[in-house]
Amino acid sequence: MSQSVLEQLKEHTVVVADTGDFSSIEQYAPRDATTNPSLILKASRQADYSSLVDQVVRTSVQNGKRDVDEVMDQLLVQFGLSILKVVPGRVSTEVDARLSFDFDASLEKARTIISLYEKNGISRDRILIKLATTWEGVAVSKVLEQEGIHTNMTLLFSLVQAVACAEAGSQLISPFVGRILDWHRKQHDRDYEGIEDPGVQSVIQIFNYYKKFGYPTEVMGASFRNTGEIKELVGCDLLTIGPKLLEQMQQDFSPIEVKLNERKAKESNLEKIEINEPTFRFLLNEDPMATEKLAEGIRKFSADVRSLEELLKNLISA
């Protein structure tokens, strides 16, 4: 019997589940899993997870902790712990997006999250701290990596952001394929398929740059709109994929082929970019898509954090 697209993909790329719904993860057997505020908020509102949320709030209140910020940290970590029971690898847990421009507060929050995992017996090599790829986020990543705390740089839409992360020694980056496509669809009033997809092109460029210049930072394509995008990125280090597209690939038995590899990367005509803070800020500003999608992403994640806070406040005071 022929293999499914999902099975074929796993032979060349590490598959990561992009969800907070840990009960749905097991059937796709991913190695890692990623979460973000939107996914945790969505899961927290589902009946299946109300007992977990209630338990976190109840335990926190019994321990005299009614501060919503502390309860939120506990909730994020409890979701992560539940996910780690069903994946053999790593889980990504995100720092509050409202801290995306605050170096000190982001660093403190990242250390808090790691300490909560370690108190629950989880070693730091199984955790990736997610940070928005602002200049401040990159600076936090550099410090954390030196402390042995690994980072997943998210809301990444451009080569300049990717180069900054590589220079900082970030463990992993998550370029957002689908959101790049969304911007170009709206801007140019047309659709894109296959290799023409600008989100796909962005990941290929970043992958080739990393491999050509020998950066060990892992590339994990994220935010997919369709399985066609995924098929164009076979061979990427990792791809994080939502349950809907994982299901589609499990039911698809068409053949796929490797599209990205180190040999092609080394043959590319990319030139090395020197990055410092002024260059980063200027080149990011020169890219209207990356600038707009980074700002929009931080706003959306921040709004979802506020909604999650409101949910927890109501439970704490009940």
Lookup: tokens for 166 = 């590589």
- 235: domain CATH number is 3.20.20.70
CA angle in degrees (0–180, nearest 5) for 43-107-136: 95
Provide the residue-wise pLDDT of the chain in tens; the chain has 318 residues: 699 999 999 999 999 999 988 888 989 999 999 998 888 989 889 888 988 999 999 999 998 888 999 999 999 999 999 999 999 999 999 999 999 999 999 999 999 999 999 999 999 999 999 999 999 999 999 999 999 999 999 999 999 999 999 999 999 999 999 999 999 999 999 999 999 999 999 999 999 999 999 999 999 999 999 999 999 999 999 999 999 999 999 999 999 999 999 999 999 999 999 999 999 999 999 999 999 999 999 999 999 999 999 999 999 998
Token pair recorded at residue 201:
């092109």
In the chain, how many domains are there? 1
Task: Let me know: does 77 contact 52? Beta carbons within 8 Å.
Answer: no
Cα dihedral 167, 169, 170, 172 sign:
positive
Pinpoint the alpha helices (H) of the chain: 5-10, 37-44, 50-62, 68-84, 103-119, 135-146, 159-168, 177-188, 198-212, 227-231, 243-250, 262-267, 277-286, 288-317
Integer Cα distance of 154 and 206 in angstroms: 14
Domain hosting 97: range is 5-317
- Residue 24 has a pLDDT of 86
pTM for the predicted model, two decimal places: 0.96
**231 carries an active-site annotation:** no
Token pair 């930072």: residue: 217
Question: Which stretch of DSSP H or E encloses residue 100?
Answer: none
Among residues 109, 130, 212, 259, the one annotated as catalytic is 130
Greatest alpha-carbon span in the chain: 62
